[in-house]
Amino acid sequence: MSFKAEGPKTRPERVKPPPSSSPTEAHPNPPSWSRRSSTSSTTSFHSAHSVQQDRFSPAEESRMVSLSNDLKTQANTFFSRQDYESAIQTYDRALAELPRYLDYEMAVLQSNIAACHLKLEQWKDAVETCERGLDGLERELPTKRKEKTKKGTKKSTGVKGSSSDRHTNSKSRAGRLNSDTESEDEGAPPSRSTNQGKAGERDDTVVELPSDEEDESAALKNLQLSDSRKADITRIRVKLLLRRARARSNLSMSPSSKTSALSDQPTPPSKTSSTPGSTWSNLSAALEDYKTLSSTPQYWEILPASDKKTVRDALVLLPPRVEEAKQKEVSEMMGKLKDLGNGILKPFGLSTDNFKVVQGEGGGYSLSFDGGGGGGKKA
């Protein structure tokens, strides 16, 4: 039996692609991952430079900074009148007028706001404000960038027989290390120097200066301004570290101990100094800030005599408070764990007193069971 239909075949013929005059159309498109890679690279490039592109014009930036400075002057007047709440509000208005990329100017205002919070004994707000200011200064002048770039500089200068371009680029990178205004442009390629023809000569200077006398004087002036800028950043960073350390050491203290916290001196260790709010982490963080100030030469040398005394006293008085807070928190934690264990073991007629933890000679711990350990929770 056949089920073949009668009539002509109706199978459609394969559609042929139209002839192309352009030879490039005959080649297939590149794989999708290749196109995505190209697009993402372009997007990444533009996003990396968005900070540089989203800047105001010089005239607009100058106007905004001038308005912010006027508000800052008003806030300083409120501060001198001990009207700290009004000072904080006016400082906030001054912050709102500044462009977001002026990290140093914003850090100055945040340092002043932190001083107001300290006067009002608002320790938590002071800590948060200081941290925002320190984060901005870290973007302006990183504290851990030099150690990494030194390794790269040694590697590039230690290669024998390097080309003139490599030598010129090495000197350009060294010049950027000594200019904090260039720290925002680390991803940009190094600029060509006008003395590229003399790149093969030995040059022990850190920064390569132009040959023209006027250009050289302008470059020296820029370097001097850069050093002054670095000094200003360091000065504000020291203020923020001092104020954050003081706020951390007094964070969440009881009203009975706030009187001693009004001065820059840390609260002396006593039976009432380690209040429930004086946490181990806050005191440890305050101690670390004081250690940073004392162990960093560029910070220590610009501290006034009164602040140096504050740091020295803190390094003596804070460690006992840190240890006391540590022991207290560990004891409280063990007590809570013991209560939890007793609740689990109670249905079995046992308690945590039936188990003893013994430290061995090698420093390890072993758990032993004592059936006659009282069978109940101690009072």
Specify whether the CB–CB gap between 352 and 339 falls below 8 A: no
Determine whether 287 is exposed, middle or buried from the number of CB atoms within 10 Å of its CB (0-12, 13-18, 19+): buried
Q: What is the dihedral of CA 274, 279, 281, 283, to 10 degrees?
A: -30
Domain ranges in the chain with CATH number 1.25.40.10: 59-140
Q: Per-residue confidence of the chain (379 residues) as pLDDT tens digits?
A: 555 555 555 666 666 666 655 554 445 555 544 444 444 444 443 444 444 447 899 999 999 999 999 999 999 999 999 999 999 999 999 999 999 999 999 999 999 999 999 999 999 999 999 999 999 999 988 887 544 444 444 444 444 444 444 444 444 443 333 333 333 333 333 343 344 444 444 444 455 555 666 666 655 655 655 888 999 999 999 999 999 999 999 985 544 444 444 344 444 433 334 344 458 889 999 999 999 999 999 999 999 999 999 999 999 999 988 888 778 877 778 778 877 877 887 787 777 777 777 777 777 777 777 766 544 444 3
pLDDT the model gives residue 131: 96
pLDDT the model gives residue 345: 75
Following DSSP, what letter does each residue of 200-246 receive, concatenated? TS----SSPPPSSHHHHHHHHHHHHHHHHHHHHHHHHHHHHHHHHHH
Specify whether the CB–CB gap between 91 and 72 falls below 8 A: yes
Angle (CA) 227-231-236 rounded to 5° is 150
pLDDT the model gives residue 347: 81
Packing angle between helix 213-249 and helix 305-345, nearest 10 degrees?
50
- Other Cβ atoms less than 10 A from the Cβ of 310: the count is 21
Residue 115 corresponds to which tokens in the numbers above?
């001083």
List own/partner pairs for 237-240 with CB under 8 A and 24 or more apart.
237/107, 237/134, 237/137, 237/299, 238/293, 238/299, 238/302, 238/303, 239/111, 240/107, 240/110, 240/111, 240/114, 240/130, 240/133, 240/134, 240/137
* CATH number for the domain whose boundaries are 59-140: 1.25.40.10
Q: How far is CA 63 from CA 87, 98, 362, in A?
A: 22, 10, 69
pLDDT the model gives residue 348: 75
CB-side exposure of 104: number of CA atoms within 13 Å? Answer: 16
pLDDT the model gives residue 160: 44
Maximum alpha-carbon separation in the chain? 114
Q: Is this structure's pTM higher than 0.85?
A: no
pLDDT the model gives residue 268: 40
pLDDT the model gives residue 341: 78
According to the 3-state scheme, what is the secondary structure of 353-367? HHEEEEECCCCCEEE
